[in-house]
Structure 1
């Protein structure tokens, strides 16, 4: 583990009060960080150059994740299985997918584009107890099931050699590693990577840094932590907010980590910062002493 005396200090950079801040992603074309408030369907844009932030979309329903398309547009993954493009000039475009059978009472939660432009996109369990699913959206807009019976689909990331995918299941308290076939997009041979059942908090969003270490956010754990490829913890950074939801790297050199937090709870009215900690619901930045790599872009055909 890293030297405990060397403790990076998170900085609150966008003082939003998100119910469920999630899905931060650096947009290199614009030099900004986009992130979400999932149940409010709010999309925020933070500009590190001047420290400003703004809400750029207030949609209906919920938006659980997004990717950046080759064109620079965003592709939003919403409730009921709806998948829809968006850009700053024209707003929302025609849905690529209108809905998914069986997901009418659910929503997407976390997504990631793969090296070929496909998207892995997971859904939440339904209120009546049906488990979530990890889908694969191919570039032609077709959907297939990648992982069945997912216990709250969450953060995803690729190993540097692109041979494996990490997949977080929050309710199961685990991060798994799957063999990944780049040619077909198929996942196979699941193996355990991190058993978090005895740790404080629940594994949530994640990313993989330039050294191949996994950085996981911990909901109700108040931290992000890095793990080497063997699953050994190497570093952790504590946050004043309890519900730390996701982490990504950004900036021209991808040397700054951006971290979303939440007021929560998972469902229902938002809590308060007195309950959830200073800055809960805000976007933070932190210098970790390690950089990241650009996320892959989606190449999904849109109308």
Structure 2
């Protein structure tokens, strides 16, 4: 395992002071990185070419994740199970899902489009302790349950052969790997890919690199870590923030990793940088020495 003096050095590129920075995703049409401040329902856009960033949406409620539609619009996954399109030209569109029964006190937390344009979208536990759910949103707009009793749904990623789906449950400190049927979207045969219960911090957002290895961000762990397909840790990269929340690859050749961090302890009030680290709440870029692959686009009708 590589860690220490030879590890890559992250560069702070957007000093947003996010309560809960999350969900970075590179938009190849615009050549920008979009990312969220979840509880503030703020959507940010970072332009690597100019080094500038701006807040492009200040919505109500919370936005927990998004995908890029085939059209280039974003599909936002919000509080109470609301799913709503947004584009920089026309703003928010009408919700295609207004709410989900049983999710009135919860919100979506992380999402991913699959190769067929469906979206796997997970929810948080409710305030009374009810576990979350991983849903599958099909291209016709219908919802079904993919995984019940999810213990704080988080990062998702596909194996290179598109026959497996990684699913992070932060509350259980584990990443599972499911068999994935591309034709039907069904998940089966869960196995534990990473048991992080004895590690510092908890696995949060994740991505899969071009060599098929998993990069996981560690909330309260101050790092991202790389794992080979059998779950062996290969490398760690540390950040000046305790709450490292998500990682994605971007750029024209997907050779730069973008990493979000947070100031806030989950759903509670935001902390300070004295408590959480000098870069807490910012977006970072880092050259990991390995590239990524483009994320799939959603193709949900609305």
Q: TM-score, normalised by structure 2?
A: 0.99
Aligned 8 A contact 2:18 2:263 in 1? yes
In the alignment, is residue 223 of structure 1 matched against residue 220 of structure 2?
Answer: no
Q: Secondary structure at the match of 1:171?
A: helix
Deviation at 1:5, TM superposition (A): 4.2
Distance 2:299 2:42 in 1: 23
Deviation at 1:267, TM superposition (A): 1.8
Aligned 8 A contact 2:219 2:243 in 1? yes
In the alignment, is residue 40 of structure 1 matched against residue 40 of structure 2?
Answer: yes
Distance 1:269 1:128 in 2: 19
Deviation at 1:284, TM superposition (A): 0.2
Distance 2:167 2:111 in 1: 10
The CA deviation string for residues 170-222 of structure 1, in whole angstroms up to 9 with x for no partner, is 00000000000000000000001000000000000000000000000000000
Distance 1:203 1:133 in 2: 17
For residue 194 of structure 1, what is the aligned residue in structure 2?
194
Q: Secondary structure at the match of 2:122?
A: strand
Aligned 8 A contact 2:226 2:236 in 1? yes
The CA deviation string for residues 259-302 of structure 1, in whole angstroms up to 9 with x for no partner, is 00000111222111011001100000000000000000000001
Q: Secondary structure at the match of 1:291?
A: coil
In the alignment, is residue 96 of structure 1 matched against residue 96 of structure 2?
Answer: yes
Distance 2:259 2:3 in 1: 22
Q: TM-score, normalised by structure 1?
A: 0.99
What is the number of residues matched between the two proteins?
302
For residue 138 of structure 2, what is the aligned residue in structure 1?
138
Q: Secondary structure at the match of 1:198?
A: coil
For residue 236 of structure 2, what is the aligned residue in structure 1?
236
Q: Secondary structure at the match of 2:275?
A: helix
Point out 4+ residue stretches in structure 1 off by more than 6 angstroms.
Answer: none
Equivalent runs, 1:1-303 vs 2, <5 Å: 1-2=1-2, 4-302=4-302
Distance 1:71 1:267 in 2: 33
Distance 2:185 2:166 in 1: 14
Aligned 8 A contact 2:3 2:237 in 1? no
Distance 1:161 1:5 in 2: 34
Distance 1:92 1:77 in 2: 12
Aligned 8 A contact 2:19 2:264 in 1? yes
**CA RMSD of superposed structures (Å):** 0.7
